[in-house]
Amino acid sequence: MQLLLEQLINGLTIGSFYALIALGYSMVYGVLKLINFAHGDFFTMGSYIGYTVLVLGAAALTVQFGPWIGMLSAICVAAGSLTIVGLLVERVAYRPVYPVGRLPAVVSALGASIFLQNTIMLIWGPRYQAYPAALIPVVRFQLGGINITLLQVIILVLSFFLMSVLYYIIQRTTFGAAVRATAHDRDTASLMGINFNRVILFIFTLGPALGATAGVMVGMYYRQISFTMGWNYGLKAFTATILGGIGNLPGAMFGGLILGVLEMLGAAYISAAWKDVFVFLILILVLIFRPNGLFGEKIAEKV
């Protein structure tokens, strides 16, 4: 029972990384019907920028303002820089291509991913980099016999906060309604006076920023980052997106959390080496029985 609860907490922590990344995939897919392969590299780049901020300024910041400000500034700088990178990638790689069709955009996205990954390698080098240790004081809480670290609490609180903010924007504000309308039917939404370019601006600002936040948190949690890690996390997050029902934002959040929990339970009760196999098998089984994902709506086929 204790093991189960601890694995649930670990799973939720990893799941919240997946969920934050998956939101970026899901928003872009919802509006553009494009699998944004470069999104995993946005995540990696965010992680590296956070690393640079912490290595260069952590000591000074931490001495003056305490560890919290160090962490928050890393997240803010990473997220802020990635909004710029995201908009640039959209402008250069996607905007000229997506009016032509979906498949050329996929190749363009893969090209952008290769480009970003190699940019990261050229700037920070091909070796693993380590986040500074003990950025957040190592505090363990005992809750009914289970251990939770302070870092896990921060990650969970911060990611749930970000997800709720995004959920609020999308579901409760007028602009969110515009985004949902565009995802539903771009042409009709444009005819109703919704500015398509502003919607694009919105998704390519928020998506990469959320990915970068996840990147900094992964760096703090595992303390080791590499320039190729975007592929793996991107793949898992994309899996989470599909699991929840593609283009469905609450679906992507739950998909990410479910995926993280499944992965940790698989690692604990089946075998650590086979945990990813287990995750993909569950995904395939879910799609066989629910072809539109767990929370996806059935879309009527057009004739």
Partner 1 sequence: MSALAKIFKNTPWYIPAALTALIIYPFLVSNYFIDIAFFFGIYALLGLSLNIVLGEVGLFDLGHAGFYAIGAYVTAILNTRYQIPILALLPISAFAAALFAYIVCSPIIHLKGDYLCIVTIGMGEIVRLALINNPFDLTGGPNGVFGVDFPKLAPGIVIDSSIKYYFLIWAVVGLSILGLVSLQHSRIGRAWNCIREDGIAAGTTGINVRHYKLLAFVIGAGLAGVAGNIYASKLMCVSPESFTFWESCLMFCIVLIGGMGSIPGVIIGAGFISLFPEIFRPFAMYRMLVFGSVMIVMMMFRPGGFWPRKRGGVSFRSLLEDTVDGAV
Site residues for partner 1 per CB under 8 A? 29, 33, 35, 37, 92-93, 96-97, 100-108, 110-119, 121-122, 186, 231, 235, 238-239, 242, 246, 273-274, 276-277, 280-281, 283-284, 287-288, 291-293, 301-303
In the complex, what is the shortest distance from the CB of residue 35 to partner 1, in angstroms, rounded to a whole number?
7
Q: How far is the CB of 279 from partner 1 (least distance, A)?
A: 8
Helix pair angle (150-172, 196-222), 10° resolution:
170
Q: Which residue has the tokens 């380590």?
A: 130
The minimum distance between CB 67 and partner 1, in angstroms, equals 36
Residue 58 beta carbon to partner 1: minimum distance, rounded to whole angstroms: 29
113/152 with CB nearer partner 1? 113
Nearer CB in complex with partner 1: 29/43: 29
Q: What does the alpha-carbon distance between residue 294 and residue 53 come to, in Å, rounded to a whole number?
A: 39
Residue (115 or 295) nearer to partner 1, CB: 115
Listed residue (166, 170, 220, 164) closest to 13, CA to CA = 220
Count Cα neighbours of 56 within 13 Å in the Cβ-side half-sphere: 9
Select from 16, 15, 5, 3 the least CA-distant residue to 279. 15
Closest distance to partner 1 from the beta carbon of 284 (Å): 5
Q: Which is nearer to partner 1, 36 or 81 (CB)?
A: 36
Of 285, 290, 236, 291, nearest in space to 264 by CA: 236
Distance of closest approach, residue 229 Cβ to partner 1, in angstroms: 13
Taking the complex as a whole, how short is the minimal distance between the CB of residue 104 and partner 1, in angstroms? 4
Residue 63 makes CB contacts below 8 A (sequence gap 6+) with none
Q: Is the dihedral of CA 45, 50, 55, 60 positive or negative?
A: positive
The answer to whether 135 and 58 have CB atoms below 8 angstroms apart is yes
Nearer to partner 1, 12 or 35 (CB): 35
Nearer to partner 1 by Cβ, of 133 and 300: the residue is 300
For partner 1, give the closer residue by CB, 133 or 273.
273
Q: Which residues contact 3 (CB under 8 A, 6 or more apart)?
A: 268
